Structure 1
Amino acid sequence: MNKQQKKIQKQNDKLKIEKQENESVQNIEDLIHDKNDFICPICLNYIVAAVSLKCGHTFCEICLHEYLLYFKGCHICNDNMRKSKFAYCYLLDQMIHEFIKSHHPEELKTYEMAKINNKEWRKKKQVSSIDVGQQIDVRDPNFVWNVGTIKRLKISQEASKIKYLVIHYEGKSDKHDEEIAENSPRFAALGFYTSRNDIPKYYKQTKNPFLKNLLCIECMDPNDNQFNQQFFIEDNSSDSE
Structure 2
Amino acid sequence: MICAAEEHIEQVVNLQLINKEKLKDKFLKKMRNRDNIDQTYSERRKKIKQEQQSRPKFEDLICPICLEIFQKVTTTQCGHAFCEMCIFDSLMRKAECPVCRVKIKTHSFQYCESFDNRINDLVHQYGDKTQIEHFKNRQLEMEQWNKSKQVDNLAIDQQVDIMDQSFIWCVATIKQIGKKEIFIHYDGWGKEYDEFIPLQSNRIAPLGLYTKREDIPKYQPEQRQFADIIEYINQYGELPTQNVLQN
TM-score range, shorter chain: 0.5 to 0.7
User: How far apart, CA to CA, are the structure 2 residues paired with 1:185 and 1:149?
Assistant: 16
Specify the alignment match of 1:74 in structure 2. Answer: 97
Alignment length (residue pairs): 178
User: How far apart, CA to CA, are the structure 2 residues paired with 1:123 and 1:66?
Assistant: 15
Q: In angstroms, what is the RMSD of aligned CA positions? A: 2.5
* Alpha-carbon shift at residue 175 of structure 1 (Å): 4.4
User: How far apart, CA to CA, are the structure 2 residues paired with 1:123 and 1:111?
Assistant: 19
Q: What TM-score results when the alignment is normalised by the length of structure 1?
A: 0.65
Determine which of 194, 209, 228 is the counterpart of 1:238: 228
Aligned residues of 1:167 and 1:178 also touching (Cα < 8 A): yes
Specify the alignment match of 1:229 in structure 2. Answer: none
* Alpha-carbon shift at residue 115 of structure 1 (Å): 0.4
Specify the alignment match of 2:156 in structure 1. Answer: 132
User: How far apart, CA to CA, are the structure 1 residues paired with 2:180 and 2:160?
Assistant: 17
* Alpha-carbon shift at residue 32 of structure 1 (Å): 5.4
Specify the alignment match of 2:166 in structure 1. Answer: 142
CA spacing shift, 1:152–1:93, aligned 2, 3 Å: closer
Aligned residues of 1:49 and 1:115 also touching (Cα < 8 A): no
* Alpha-carbon shift at residue 188 of structure 1 (Å): 1.5
Specify the alignment match of 2:245 in structure 1. Answer: none
Specify the alignment match of 1:165 in structure 2. Answer: 182
Specify the alignment match of 2:208 in structure 1. Answer: 191
CA spacing shift, 1:59–1:31, aligned 2, 3 Å: farther
CA spacing shift, 1:192–1:181, aligned 2, 3 Å: same
Tell me which amino acid in the other structure corresponds to 2:168: V
CA spacing shift, 1:84–1:143, aligned 2, 3 Å: closer
User: How far apart, CA to CA, are the structure 1 residues paired with 2:114 and 2:162?
Assistant: 30
- Mapped pair 1:118 → 2:142: yes
Q: Alignment identity in percent?
A: 33
* Alpha-carbon shift at residue 148 of structure 1 (Å): 0.6
* Alpha-carbon shift at residue 152 of structure 1 (Å): 2.5
CA spacing shift, 1:56–1:175, aligned 2, 3 Å: closer
| Structure with a larger share of its residues in strand | 1
The answer for unaligned runs of 5 or more in structure 1 is 1-28, 156-161, 206-233
Specify the alignment match of 2:122 in structure 1. Answer: 99
Structure number with greater CO (CA < 8 Å, separation at least 6) is 1
Aligned residues of 1:50 and 1:89 also touching (Cα < 8 A): yes
Ranges of 4+ aligned residues in structure 1 off by more than 4 Å: 29-32
* Alpha-carbon shift at residue 163 of structure 1 (Å): 4.3
- Mapped pair 1:177 → 2:194: yes
User: How far apart, CA to CA, are the structure 1 residues paired with 2:99 and 2:207?
Assistant: 32
* Alpha-carbon shift at residue 60 of structure 1 (Å): 0.7
User: How far apart, CA to CA, are the structure 1 residues paired with 2:185 and 2:123?
Assistant: 46
User: How far apart, CA to CA, are the structure 2 residues paired with 1:95 and 1:183?
Assistant: 24
Aligned residues of 2:74 and 2:111 also touching (Cα < 8 A): yes
Q: What TM-score results when the alignment is normalised by the length of structure 2?
A: 0.63
* Alpha-carbon shift at residue 145 of structure 1 (Å): 0.5
* Alpha-carbon shift at residue 135 of structure 1 (Å): 0.9
Aligned residues of 1:163 and 1:182 also touching (Cα < 8 A): yes
